[in-house]
A and B are shown apart, each in its own frame.
Chain A
Amino acid sequence: MSAELVLSSVIFFGLAVIIPVIMLLTAVFGPRSGGVAKNDAYESGIKHVVGMADQKFSVKFYLLAILFLIFDIEAVFMYPWAVSLRELGMFGFLEMVVFILLLLTGLIYILKKGVLNWR
Chain B
Amino acid sequence: MSLTLLNVIFAVVVAIAFAALNAAYLVWAERRGAGRIQRRPGPNINGPFGLFQPPLDGLKLMAKQLTIPGGADKILFVAAPVLSMFPAIMSFVTIPFSEMIVAHNMNVGLLMIFAFASSGSMALLFAGWSSRNKYAMMSAVRSVSQAVAYEIPMLITAITIVLMTGTMDLMEIVRQQGPSILHWNIFPLLTNSHNLLMPFSFLIFFTCTLAETNRAPFDLGEAESELVAGFHIEYGSMGFGLFFMAEYANIVIGSCLTTILFLGGWHPPLPFLGFIPGVVWFLLKIYILIATFIWIRWTFPRTTIYGLLNLSWKILIPISLFNLLLTAGLLKVF
Contacts and interface: CB of A to CB of B under 8 A. Distances in A.
Given A68-B152, A83-B162, A19 B82 contact: yes
Interface string A9-21: 0111011101110
Interface residues of B, number: 74
Contact of A79 (B64, B86, B149, B168): B168
B152 A86 contact: no
Contacts of A5: none
B237 A85 contact: no
A6 B6 CA distance: 12
B328 interface: yes
Interface residues of A, number: 61
Interface of B: 1, 4-5, 8-9, 11-12, 16, 61-71, 78, 81-82, 85-86, 89-90, 93, 103-104, 111, 118, 131-137, 141, 144-145, 148-149, 151-152, 155-156, 159, 162-163, 166-168, 228, 233-234, 237-239, 242, 306, 309-310, 313-314, 317-318, 321, 324-325, 328-329, 331-332
B145 A23 contact: no
A71 B152 contact: yes
Contacts of B62: 25-26, 29-30
A41 B133 CA distance: 6
Contacts, number: 182
Given A19-B89, A83-B166, A65 B238 contact: no
Given A7-B5, A96-B328, A61 B141 contact: yes
A64 B111 CA distance: 23
A61 to B, nearest CB: 5
A53 B242 contact: no
Given A19-B82, A96-B328, A111-B313, A53 B137 contact: yes
Nearest to A78: B159
18 contacts: A11-B90, A15-B90, A23-B81, A26-B66, A30-B63, A41-B69, A41-B131, A42-B233, A43-B133, A64-B309, A72-B152, A79-B159, A82-B159, A85-B166, A86-B166, A100-B321, A100-B324, A116-B309
Interface pairs A-B: 10 shortest CB-CB: A39-B70, A68-B148, A75-B155, A82-B162, A30-B65, A41-B133, A26-B238, A53-B132, A26-B237, A118-B306
A15 B12 contact: yes
A46 interface: no
A104 B328 contact: no
Contacts of A53: 71, 131-134, 136-137
B8 A41 contact: no
A19 B313 contact: no
Nearest to B67: A38
Contacts of A116: 306, 309-310, 313-314
Nearest to A8: B104
Interface centre among A12, A14, A86, A90 (most CB of B within 10 A): A14
A72 B151 contact: yes
A93 interface: yes
A58 B325 CA distance: 34
A65 B136 contact: no
A44 B226 CA distance: 11
Nearest to B322: A104
A104 B4 contact: no
B327 to A, nearest CB: 9
